[in-house]
Amino acid sequence: MKRQITALLIFATTLCVLIGSCSNKIPEVVSVFGVKLDKSSMGLAVGESRKLTATVEPKNATDKGVSWESDNDPVAKVDQDGNVTGISKGGAKITVTTDDGGHKATCDVGVVEIPVEKVTLDHDKIELKVDSPYQFSWTIVPDGASIKEVKFSSSNENLVRCAIEPLGLIYPLTAGVATITVTTVGTDKDGKQCKAECEVTVNKILIEYFSLYNMI
């Protein structure tokens, strides 16, 4: 009987020790020993964005957090997800740094401008009625040009006025002929802005018809 009691006490003590050791066990911390990027160099056009992917080593590292930075934000910016955007022509170095250990990897980024070749309008001549607005459409070539903004102007704002918003909308005000010009903000390879023109005619007969109609 004493042997049985002794055996039970030993078993219970051992069980308590095991349970205690399990409940107090500290999770193993796996330290970071490096980081890699999927690209060591990358080219971008102004306005273009591409993603860099960082791989923290080892794969089972406890803390895989990283931070991103650019050494030249006016040329290329990077967000904290690794998305790099070209801002202006030039070079920049993108660096990723691990939160654990401060390990680094870099990517050299070159940003170029793709020049405009030409701009076209949907019409080169058009006839309109007074107080009948028209919305132009335009095309920038090439489609991947870095700067796609344009400006519209009229040779006679008293006859045909260009709206500020939306861009490309015109208002015929009185009879006559005016030239609408679209000009690119970006330049071609020679540094010159590209232009396209449309001759807008506001028909006098239509204006007289509307004047008589309004008098009735």
| Domains and their CATH numbers in the chain | 34-112 (2.60.40.1080), 118-215 (2.60.40.1080)
The pLDDT tens digits for 68-118 are 999 999 999 999 999 999 999 999 999 999 999 999 999 999 998 899 999
Placement of tokens 């607005």 in the chain: 133
In this predicted structure, the answer to whether residue 207 has a pLDDT above a threshold of 50 is no
Render 106-175 in DSSP notation, one character per residue.
EEEEEEE-----EEEES-SEEEE-TT--EE--EEEESTT-S---EEEEES-TTTEEEPSSSTTEEEE-SS
44 burial via Cβ count (<10 Å: 0-12, 13-18, 19+): buried
Task: Give the 3-state secondary structure of residue 33.
Answer: coil
The answer to whether 159 and 135 are in contact (CB under 8 A) is no
How large is the average pLDDT for residues 194-204? 93
Instruction: State residue 54's pLDDT score.
Output: 97
How large is the average pLDDT for residues 55-65? 94
In this predicted structure, the answer to whether residue 24 has a pLDDT above a threshold of 60 is no
In this predicted structure, the answer to whether residue 23 has a pLDDT above a threshold of 90 is no
Closest to 172 (Cα-Cα) out of 159, 189, 185: 159
Instruction: State residue 100's pLDDT score.
Output: 94
Backbone phi and psi for residue 58, each to the nearest 5 degrees, phi listed first: -75, 170
How large is the average pLDDT for residues 47-72? 95
Residue 124 is which amino acid? D
How large is the average pLDDT for residues 178-200? 93
Predicted TM-score of the model (pTM): 0.58
